[in-house]
Amino acid sequence: MISREAPAPRSIGFGRVLLAVILGTLITFGIMFLLGLGFFGAAMAGSGPDPVESRSVLRLDFNYPIPEQSRSGLPSVINPLAIDFRPATGLDAIRAGLREAAEDDKIDGILLDLGINPNGQAVLGTLRELLIEFKDSGKFVWAYGQYGGQRAYDLATVADSIFLHPTGGVELKGYSAETTFFKEGLERLGVEVQVFYDGKFKSATEPFRRTDMSPENRLQVRSFLNEVWGQYKQRVAMNRNMPVDSVQAIADRLDGMQPVLALRHGLVDAIAYQDEVYDRLRRKVGREPDEDLPLVSMDRYLSYKGLPKANKPKRSGNVAVLYAEGNIIDGEGDDGQIGGASTARLIREARKDEDVDAVVLRISSPGGSAPASDVIWREAMRLAEEKTLVVSMGNYAASGGYFIAAPADWIMAEPGTLTGSIGVFLLLPNLRALREEHLGVYTDTVKTGAQADFPSINRPVSETQRVLLQAMVDSTYMDFKRKVSMGRGMSMDAVEAVAQGRIWTGTQALDNGLVDQLGGLDEAIAVAAERARLGEDYGVLHRPEYEPSPLEEILVSMSEESRIQAEVPGMIGLAHAAEFYGASAIWNEWSGIWGPLQEHPVVQARMPFVLDY
């Protein structure tokens, strides 16, 4: 009886899997069929009327995480039914689009959506500079929304006029950092996290070994929060023509959350409904009250203009811009990650490319796997021996992100960039008590030697293993410092003074010698061309090169029109909202730490936490 009945559950499971596969295949083919019809219809339609009319207004919605380089918006294998299929328009494309629009006679101005802008300080800084350039061309920039998050408002202060919905508000409150400590809670569940680290400021392990911030961690957090908040207040005070002390007082009272007080204190210029703002816009661009107001999204404008242009090397010399964005992981990596193998290959190809005379490595990363960082470092060092290498830091270039920056001839950061964090750690959980005392689950092991099952999450490490793991961490930390010393021309004592896992802003890093100059990507490209003696006429090659497929162009046209006509300003897609509120970020961050333990412990060179400020 047992032998005949045992296979039954397997047949049921197989049937369910088979059904799921069939349904998934049918859904996929159905989606592709519908998209194919859309593509065929678009092709049959031929060249329609000019999609950008004269006296148009470019509507900018930056309420999504803007990557350094544009990414595909096609459904992934993991989530084929993703809610938002629009390609993630990157900073590279936005830069090209805004500069083209500044010279385009058909674009009279910009309407900037407020909302919840989830982007970091470096991205916001670049967007601010681009909007200022646009205004300098003689065109206007207005901002409007129902709600202005603190970062969205930071960007909006560049505008000539800011309009707020009657039931809206402006978030102006200051910055804070909150850490959750799991040590006692995990212990009550029977989970012991075995911690190995170097650097008294390397606080990534504190949630698993403390119940509060260490004095060192509190010091560094207070230091960089005060720095970036001071920069924020200065910008608001300058752009809104008010004293810095007034900005702090408004923030302390949360006056911006009430529209009347936001207007009274000069945070906004008028309170109005969307139709009222649109009426003002019509008058601004010289259209009649009953005329349509041609609002053009950035995605549509880029598609119309064919931007950014394809890379075309120049004989007079070229600077290649290589993008390294996301967590650093071993192997190839995925979209939005820095794969050790794939990024090393990208750098190696630039070194061997005869059309490339200088390289700018644009880094926006909180770090990750130390071995993967070392793989990338090696190729960056070899490149720097043969060609000019300049590093441009984005929102983050910390820990592993700084590791791969160290070989550069010249390092540039934004004032609000978070960098440094020269330190490493390793975590190994022990789940024995959880399994046995709380769940009644036991394991038994047969092995051929004392270390055959190492590492294991089912038992505590032995003293021999503890010494080994700490030695791995110590060795990696020493190697990290040695490579910083070699790359920056600093003594080991000088490196130790700014290391210990401590995080620095770009401004602080300039003062302590970890970076050479403050500036963005454009300045870094100019510096690379100058150091390589390329003169004024040089090409810029972006690698890897991204070009939207015809299918993505259709997705843009299908989704963009409905999105831009939304009656509630500042709305964002559910997928972007989830990213903003941290669920995806937290998962990505910690899966990078725990995942490698399935096979071997990996020393981590990453920032202590994902900052949201």
Q: Say which residues have a Cβ less than 8 Å from residue 452's Cβ, sequence separation at least 6.
A: none
Other C-beta atoms closer than 10 Å to the C-beta of 33 total 10
Tell which residue, 51, 80, 129, has the closest CA to residue 560.
Answer: 51
Q: How far apart are CA 120 and CA 558, in angstroms?
A: 29
Reduced to 3 states (helix: H, G, I; strand: E, B; else coil), residue 67 is coil
Cβ atoms < 10 Å from Cβ of 489: 8
Q: Are 490 and 484 in contact (CB under 8 A)?
A: yes
Judge whether 338 and 327 are in contact, CB under 8 Å. Answer: yes
Q: How far apart are CA 116 and CA 150, in angstroms?
A: 8
Tokens representing residue 180 in the block = 């959750």
Q: Which of 203, 399, 456, 559 is catalytic?
A: 399
Tokens at residue 405, please?
């920056």
> DSSP state, 442?
-
* Amino acid letter for position 328: I
The closest alpha carbon to 304, from 58, 572, 32, belongs to: 58
The burial class, CB within 10 Å (0-12 / 13-18 / 19+), for 579 is middle
Instruction: Match 């390092």 to its residue by tokens.
Output: 411
The C-alpha atoms of residue 469 and residue 360 are separated, in whole angstroms, by 36
Asked whether the beta carbons of 369 and 329 are under 8 A apart, the reply is yes
In this structure, are strands 295-297 and 56-60 parallel, antiparallel, or unpaired? parallel
- At a CB cut-off of 8 Å and minimum separation 6, what does 216 contact? 200, 201, 203, 500, 502
Which residue is it, tokens 């390329």? Answer: 534
Q: Specify whether 314 is catalytic.
A: no
* Catalytic residue, candidates 56, 139, 202, 369: 202
| 3-state SS class at 606 | strand
- Alpha-carbon distance of 399 to 421, in angstroms, equals 5
d(CA 604, CA 585): 17
Q: Is 399 among the residues known to form the active site?
A: yes
308 upstream amide cis, omega within 30 of 0: yes
CA–CA gap between residue 559 and residue 511 (Å, rounded): 47
Which residues are catalytically annotated?
202, 399
